[in-house]
Amino acid sequence: MTFDTINIDLTSRSNTYNPIGPQGQWIYHRFGQREYPIKDLPFSHVKKLLNSLEAGQTVFFECFFGDTLQYDKILEVVELCNKKNLNPFLFTTGSDFDKDILEKLCKYNLRFYVKNYGIKTNEHNIVENFDVENFLEFLKITKKKTIIEFQTYQHNFNQIPDIIDLCVSYNSELKITKGVTYDEDMSNVIDSKGNWLYDIFGLKFDLPNEDEFLVAKSVLLQCKNNILEILSNNEITEQYRSVIGRRKLLKYIKNQPNDTNILKNPVLPEINNFNLEVENYKNSNDLYINYLGYAFPNRYFYEVFNNAICNDWYSDYLDYVETYTTSVSEFSYLYIDNYVHSLSGVLKRLSEIETNSIDIRKHKLDSLKENFLDCFGYRYVWYIVTVIKRASWFSC
């Protein structure tokens, strides 16, 4: 089978911690590392998936919580890709790796994809436990096989010239992009133990060659000159704990992990009907496999499911939905969370489906795609039957 996009999440293990990624931030979580199962996708499942793909397929190995190079069978995965004539992309921080394995990986046809937040010092890097020296060694070994996506903020855009110099030295590819921010174009940086370190702020201007993949040395050097010109006219904003950041954190102080997984709620309320989301995937030809072995038809469903296996937002979500659905006349529309509304229908559907139907252990890829329509398609009669069944449950 062939797909427009196929992503296989191999593991949730990582020796680095990204506080502004899913390891540390979610709509109801800010303080410290989130709790999620630490597991690996069994190699037998990976083998089954790769053997089902046609030659020439590009396969992304990007982990939601983990780092691909922490997967203990990563060499076997790449060897099988080579045997099947597949094109693997390995996503990693490039900070923690086994040198011997990395050198063996580089003998195969593959690419590494690194999201980087800075290379100046270890102690001021956004990513906890990121080792700059290890990263430089990683580039020295992988060279032109690596693509660096540099996440740019107000405090680190002065590092772009140094990143460009590295790419020129090692023939690495570069993509410069604006970094992820949340409330009011800023993000709190909180370490894995829950200590608020500082806030970071998004750029308010466009960058040269933004979101382009830069390969040619002449293009990289021209980009560097353009960045240096911008730096001569703009000041760097250092990381600091801001008043805005403190205000945004107040609503998260009371949030505590729950014993209940939100997907296990038998009657999960919703704000938006899932039928409104069906058009977003039914004509796509994508496949996302998470590290627990479940398959999803697009990235959005995959991300919502992965976030839902963390026990850190059950009560807060129910409180929000209950307030909105039962007290609409009293609900202040100033406090509407559009993202909560957008994920409501998807979340409810994920709580209703029979997980065996999307389990890669139980099905071949073609039958999984057939199951997507039953799991994520339109539902009308099913809804009525379910309501009747649940009414009978409560009457017993």
* C-beta neighbour count of 340 within 10 angstroms: 19
Q: CB atoms < 10 A from the CB of 297, how many?
A: 23
* 139, 247, 250, 253 from 257: Cα distances, Å: 38, 21, 17, 12
Average pLDDT over residues 57-85: 98
> In CATH, what is the architecture of 5-252?
Alpha-Beta Barrel (3.20)
Q: For the segment 15-65, what is each residue's pLDDT rounded down to a tens digit?
A: 999 999 999 988 888 888 999 999 999 999 999 999 999 999 999 999 999
Kindly state the tokens that stand for 236: 């760097």
Q: Which two tokens stand for residue 281?
A: 């995937």
Binned at pLDDT 50, 70 and 90, residue 68 comes out as very high
Task: Tell me the two tokens of residue 19.
Answer: 């506080």
User: Is residue 108 over pLDDT 70?
Assistant: yes
Neighbours of 46 (CB within 10 A): 25
Query: Angle at CA 6, nearest 5°, toward 5 and 9?
Result: 135
Q: Mean pLDDT over residues 161-178, rounded?
A: 97
Strands (E), 215-258: none
pLDDT tens string 371-383: 888 888 887 644 4
Q: Give pLDDT, residue 330.
A: 58
Pairing of strands 295-296, 111-116: unpaired
Distance from C-alpha of 17 to C-alpha of 33, rounded to nearest angstrom: 8
C-alpha to C-alpha distance for 124 and 197, rounded to whole angstroms: 10
Q: Residues spanned by CATH 3.20.20.70 within the chain?
A: 5-252
- Alpha-carbon distance of 368 to 42, in angstroms, equals 18
Q: What is the pLDDT of residues 91-102, one digit of tens each?
A: 999 999 999 999
The model carries a pTM of 0.90
- pLDDT at position 390 over 50: no
| pLDDT tens-place string over residues 231-280 | 998 888 888 899 988 888 887 776 666 777 788 776 777 788 888 778 77
Per residue in 352-371, pLDDT tens? 888 899 999 999 888 888 88
